Amino acid sequence: MQRENDLPDTIDISKRISEIGVVPVVLIDDSSKAVALTDALLEAGLPLVEITLRTRSAMDSIEEIARMRPEMLVGAGTVLFERDATRAVEAGAKFLVSPGIDPDMLKLAKKLKTQFIPGFMTPSELAAALKFGCQLAKFFPAEANGGPSMLASVCAPFLHTNIGFIPTGGINLENMMNWLRSPRIRAVGGSWIASRADIDGSDWAGITRKARVAVELANERSNGDRHAR
């Protein structure tokens, strides 16, 4: 049954991520903190979170967020194995993110009718993402791999397509706007908004403060530009 705050079933996940413009990448060690974390992000106007499957608590956290805060767009990150993709979707993940690209995973995501955002560093990997109909791909690790100029060079032959990018890895408040200048970059991702230490220390006010600044910066560019080719 659809509840009042539920995301509509037909929500266009790519569009929503692009509208929001910032993806907090989260490592959480205690699922009993998942709702407080979510509330800290929602308080800042950031209804999006990627829970990486790198901790034992990740699946439970996704489940908790999906159940208790249906207005939050929750996804699973670091999805490396097909069984984890299936479990994450069953737990309530609305999108899946991976550091690399795996055709088997992309086929499975299609079957699960779930948006998959694969990682890429090279034109070949980006071409594979395109072949599987991905609307978004994660440029990872973004800063270590050469920064915005590297991404501009790698994606130049793909600009006649509609694929959009989410650079992640080494991005923070200081450098996020260097990335968001390009309309092809639909959002930036990173752990700086809600770090593992912040969550362990229950620093909800600190997370809200950082998330609010990130949202304000992301909002500085117009939605029109963000969706333009």
Q: Per CB under 6 A, does 25 bind ligand 3PG? A: yes
Q: Binding pattern to ligand 3PG, positions 126-165, x when CB under 6 A?
A: --------------x-------------------------
The two tokens of residue 221 are: 């560019």
Concerning whether 50 is annotated as a catalytic residue, the answer is yes
Q: Tell me the one-letter amino acid at 95.
A: F
User: Among the candidate windows 104-112, 120-128, 189-197, 208-216, which touches ligand 3PG by CB under 6 A?
Assistant: 189-197
Please spell the DSSP secondary structure of 123-147, one letter per residue: HHHHHHHHHTT-SEEEETTTTTTTH
Give the number of other Cβ atoms within 10 Å of residue 59's Cβ: 20
List 14, 31, 52, 55, residue binding ligand 3PG (CB under 6 A): 52
User: Among the candidate windows 11-19, 123-131, 168-176, 210-218, which touches ligand 3PG by CB under 6 A?
Assistant: 168-176
Query: From residue 21, how far is each of 25, 63, 113, 120 by CA, in Å?
Result: 13, 24, 23, 19
Q: Per CB under 6 A, does 189 bind ligand 3PG? A: yes
Size of the site for ligand 3PG (CB under 6 A): 13
The two tokens of residue 1 are: 């049954």
Beta strands of the chain (E only): which ranges?
Answer: 22-26, 48-52, 73-77, 95-97, 115-117, 119-120, 136-139, 164-165, 188-190
> Among the options 50, 63, 64, 143, which is catalytic?
50
Determine the Cα–Cα distance for residues 6 and 44; give it in Å rounded to an integer: 19
List 14, 79, 169, 194, residue binding ligand 3PG (CB under 6 A): 169
User: Among the candidate windows 2-10, 35-43, 66-74, 188-196, which touches ligand 3PG by CB under 6 A?
Assistant: 188-196
> Among the options 33, 94, 138, 210, which is catalytic?
138
Concerning whether 64 is annotated as a catalytic residue, the answer is no
CB 47 within 8 A of CB 69: no
**C-beta of 107: minimal distance to ligand 3PG in Å?**
23
Determine the Cα–Cα distance for residues 194 and 187; give it in Å rounded to an integer: 16
List 38, 55, 57, 191, residue binding ligand 3PG (CB under 6 A): 191
Strand, coil or helix: 28: coil
**C-beta of 170: minimal distance to ligand 3PG in Å?**
5
Which positions touch ligand 3PG (CB under 6 A)?
25, 52, 77-78, 140, 168-171, 189-192
